[in-house]
């Protein structure tokens, strides 16, 4: 994994857009007129990084990229009426799960509280082995469960714990992934194939994903709907239990695309490289074209002529849309997302427009314990948390026009949706406060004074961030 860019680096296959390579460290561009929508599948004939050549062994058209993409920096989603009530933010909705006694035992003892996953204090190689095994196989680690919402029952759903296994042993209640298509690939509940229930024990006010995704959606970006739900669970013949409140986060999948894009048939990649749609089609030249294009350009000096690269990148992605997503992340002060060079985001190859970015996993934003309000807007500052700029952001900021457009997005977002986050925080915290005051699992680690203080801290961070952006940009 190339940590700075956040993408898996695969030396067996280099897919390029209008470029030829002569070793890792040197890039030679074809003339601008030769930038084409075709890719070369290249294999390393010698040892990478030694100056030895990479020779083309097979040439394949890359049908997912277009020569003249259309830019659409904002969208207007049309949500399926069937599932709008599931994500209603005006109320705390209620979900019910039922497990047989044996299914709950497998859920709890086999996964959630399995000592195997308590890797705290273990050597790093053991820790990584355990976590890698879970990431590679969690698609198989499900138990049968029943799901109910608003009187409608899905009798044979699939449930498993979600989140990072290394933290499960600390949780007083599990985070839960619920799938409707696990046992039947065509299974859907009100048009949804899955539901994500998030509980973050290390957040005094568990609202950040909800607030951040609201901000993204209000900014015209393709982001998940998030609300709070009360979960009730029945295990075998035991009495139904109140599991308290969870954030219900809309998954990013084919149905997500159908609600937000005119053409949902493109390739969707989690973290910039894990293919999530069209899996039967093995051709993923589009994402390697994009990733390699950026990776190889980072090997050149910052003061080099990057004009050919800028032209090539503009043909591979919707630059203005990606700039807007990164500007939104910078305002929120993310730590592990696209703008930071990490993997908490999606890329969607939107047919006719090429790649657009989809925000994901915004649970550590606007947090004073992670970074100060005056985090740099444009580049990495050594010793300054949250200022990390990944390869995409760093390389795009070398283009004066794109940097200016990034600033314009900062101002637009700041003066509109971001400025309304203070009132939105008040509204959400007031809505869920009573529920958390009675949530036994949450109260194991928190109290209401901490909840109130964190809500106020979020509000103050928004105010401070707005002031800092005005100070830096002078407007």
Q: What is the pLDDT of residues 39-51, one digit of tens each?
A: 333 333 333 333 3
Query: What is the reported pLDDT for 63?
Result: 64
**Sign of the torsion angle spanned by Cα atoms 422, 424, 428, 430:** positive
pLDDT at 59: 28
Specify the pLDDT at position 42.
32
Q: Output the pLDDT for position 448.
A: 97
| Spans in the chain with pLDDT lower than 50 | 1-60
Q: What is the pTM of this model?
A: 0.87
The whole-angstrom separation of Cα 9 and Cα 272 is 11
- Report pLDDT for 242: 97
How much is the pLDDT for 128? Answer: 86
d(CA 291, CA 378): 21
Give the span between the Cα atoms of 468 and 377, in whole angstroms.
10
Q: pLDDT value at position 64?
A: 66
Question: Which DSSP symbol is given to 158?
Answer: E
DSSP three-state, residue 402: helix
pLDDT value for 6: 39
What pLDDT sits at residue 73? 80
Phi, psi of 207 (to 5 degrees): -135, -5
Rounded CA separation 339/387 (Å): 9
Q: With contact defined as beta carbons under 8 Å apart, do 408 and 325 qualify?
A: no
Cα 448 to Cα 454: distance, rounded to the nearest angstrom:
10
Burial 210-243 (b: 16+ CB within 10 A, else e): bbbbbbbbbbbbbbbbbbbbbbebbbeeeeeeeb
């Amino acid at each position: 994994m190339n940590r700075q860019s956040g993408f898996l680096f695969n030396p067996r296959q280099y897919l390029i857009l209008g470029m030829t390579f002569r070793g890792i460290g040197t890039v030679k561009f074809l003339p601008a007129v030769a930038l084409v929508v075709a890719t070369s599948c290249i294999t390393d004939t010698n040892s990478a990084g030694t100056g030895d050549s990479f020779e083309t062994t097979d040439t394949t058209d890359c049908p997912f990229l277009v020569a003249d993409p259309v830019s659409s920096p904002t969208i207007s989603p049309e949500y399926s009426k069937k599932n709008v009530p599931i994500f209603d933010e005006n109320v705390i909705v209620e979900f019910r799960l039922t497990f047989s006694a044996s299914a709950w035992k497998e859920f709890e003892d086999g996964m959630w509280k399995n000592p195997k996953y308590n890797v705290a204090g273990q050597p790093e190689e053991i820790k990584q082995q355990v976590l890698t095994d879970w990431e590679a196989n969690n698609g198989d680690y499900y138990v049968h469960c029943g799901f109910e919402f608003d009187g409608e029952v899905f009798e044979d759903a699939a449930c498993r714990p979600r989140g990072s296994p290394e933290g499960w042993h600390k949780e007083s209640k599990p985070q839960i992934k619920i799938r409707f298509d696990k046992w039947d690939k065509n299974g859907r509940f009100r048009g949804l194939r899955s539901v994500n229930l998030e509980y973050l024990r290390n957040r005094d006010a568990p609202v950040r994903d909800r607030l951040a995704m609201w901000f993204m959606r209000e900014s015209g970006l393709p982001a998940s709907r998030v609300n709070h739900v009360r979960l009730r669970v029945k295990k075998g013949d035991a009495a139904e239990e109140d599991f308290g409140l969870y954030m219900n986060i809309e998954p990013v999948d084919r149905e997500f695309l159908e609600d937000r894009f005119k053409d949902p048939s493109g390739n969707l990649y989690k973290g910039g490289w894990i293919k999530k749609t069209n899996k039967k089609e093995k051709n993923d030249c589009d994402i390697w074209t994009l990733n390699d294009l950026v990776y190889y350009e980072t090997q050149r000096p910052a003061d080099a002529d990057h004009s050919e690269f800028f032209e090539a990148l503009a043909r591979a992605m919707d630059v203005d849309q990606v700039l807007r997503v990164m500007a939104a992340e910078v305002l929120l002060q993310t730590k592990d997302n696209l703008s930071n060079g990490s993997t908490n985001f999606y890329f969607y190859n939107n047919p006719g427009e090429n790649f657009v970015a989809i925000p994901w996993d915004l649970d550590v934003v606007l947090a004073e314990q992670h970074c100060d309000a005056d985090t740099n807007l444009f580049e990495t500052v050594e010793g300054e948390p949250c200022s990390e700029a990944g390869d995409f952001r760093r390389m795009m900021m070398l283009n004066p026009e794109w940097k200016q457009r990034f600033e314009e997005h900062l101002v637009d977002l700041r003066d509109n949706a971001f400025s309304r986050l203070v009132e939105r925080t008040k509204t959400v915290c007031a809505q869920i406060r009573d529920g958390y005051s009675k949530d036994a699992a949450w109260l194991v680690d928190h109290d209401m004074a901490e909840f109130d203080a964190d809500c106020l801290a979020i509000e103050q961070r928004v105010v401070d961030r707005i002031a800092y952006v005005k100070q830096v940009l002078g407007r």
